[in-house]
Amino acid sequence: MQTKTIMITGPFKQLLTMDNLPMKGSLKDAQLEVVEEVGIVHQQGMILEIGIFTELCAKYESKNSEIQFIDRDLIALPGFIDPHTHLCWAGSREHDYALRLEGKSYTEIAKTGGGIWDTVTKTRNASDEELKSLLSARAATQLQNGITTCEVKSGYALSREGEMRLLHIINAVNLEHFIDLIPTCLAAHIKPRDFEGGNVEYLRFLAAKLLPEVRKEKLAGRVDIFVDEGAFEVIEAEEYLTAAKNLGFELVVHGEQFTPGGVSLAIRVGAMSVDHLEMIDSKAIAKLALSDVVAMALPGASIGLGCQFAPARKLLDAGCCLAIGSDWNPGSAPMGDLLIQTAILGTFEKLTMAEQFAAITFRAVHALNLPDRGILKKGNIADFIGFPGRNYKEILYHQGMLKPGYVWKKGVQVF
């Protein structure tokens, strides 16, 4: 529980503020602001000051402050941000995974009854209590892994009532949990098999019957759509996203995972991010770099599907803003470990440590339009994590296997 008392947490052996770094383009580790023997002063969930621990203790000694003394070597970073997940589902798709190992493609499996529709069926049949329990457990895992803000999409009900139910569940768990869950309406995941009509009719139905209710009840401020083979075409998606934008929603596009077109669409409609990008080409990269749309890499899907990674190195060198999400879902990305996936992508794409940390802190926050976190500085939310060790390079050196020993959410130690 937050307190009005001024708290001083420290000393941390090292602290990465992630401050004073550009939002776009490549980064060198030498650009990181690394402070040693440092403390964080916070009150009512907000950061008041960051500085040398002993100096802070002396400064606030007469101000009714309390000290949370850290008696081990810890490296502090901003709480991680997972900007793309599908955490609200029931059931499992291990059969799909086995089929992929036998050589079946993602689209082939979907056409024979697997894929997203399999999860839709299982999620529709699950009770509210089961879905809340499953989502809460996954949120707890995220928090333990240092993720203090996590985007969560609907999209596994694909009906007006079902999508409303999932968004209500996401919001309910958010109220009960320490982690911040950011809901996104992904009713346009695929066209449900039991909808009488084509893609255009389904999207118009969502725009007329679902999105106004989502907006009215304030269940989500973001709308996403899957633009690719087996989902929705660019021209269909543009009409839907324009309608969503006119209702006041921020926009997201699942794009360029298997086929092109998503990047140009995201730029035209002014999306916050375009997510996946495994198939992006050099022309689309150049367009994306000139825009304000965040490039979202999802290495978990590449690992789960056995396909190429988004070309993160090329995206950064071209001047894009790169964020990384776990894409935690039951089908293509069941691992759900953001730090491991980031480290793997970093190894294969030759990303600096600064670029990797930026992609899961302040650049990920930019994709969610939440400027009050992702950087440790005065005035931001006191979301910070502590890894055992003496040097920040140890974290990615262990390729995601070194986990936080402590997690603070709004100044409260929650793990």
1, pLDDT greater than 60:
no
Residue type, 84: H
Tell me if 6-79+375-413 shares its fold with 81-368. Answer: no
Q: Using CB atoms within 10 Å of the CB of residue 323, give its burial: 0 to 12 exposed, 13 to 18 middle, 19+ buried.
A: buried
Spell out the CATH class of 81-368.
alpha beta
Mean pLDDT of 213-223: 98
- Specify whether the CB–CB gap between 348 and 309 falls below 8 A: yes
Look at residue 318 in the predicted model and tell me its pLDDT.
98
- Which ranges in 211-306 belong to alpha helices (H)? 211-216, 234-246, 262-269, 282-289, 299-305
pTM > 0.95 = yes
Domain spans in the chain, listed from the N-terminal domain onward: 6-79+375-413, 81-368
CATH architecture of 6-79+375-413: Roll (2.30)
Q: Tell me what the pLDDT averaged over the chain comes to.
A: 97
Look at residue 2 in the predicted model and tell me its pLDDT.
65
Distances (CA, A) of 260 to 46, 104, 227, 231, 357: 42, 22, 9, 13, 28
Q: Are strands 250-255 and 273-276 parallel, antiparallel or unpaired?
A: parallel
Nearest-angstrom CA–CA distance, 81 and 342: 12
Q: Which of 305, 301, 239, 227 is CA-nearest to residue 269?
A: 239
Mean pLDDT of 205-231: 97
Q: Which of 18, 6, 79, 12 is CA-nearest to residue 409?
A: 79
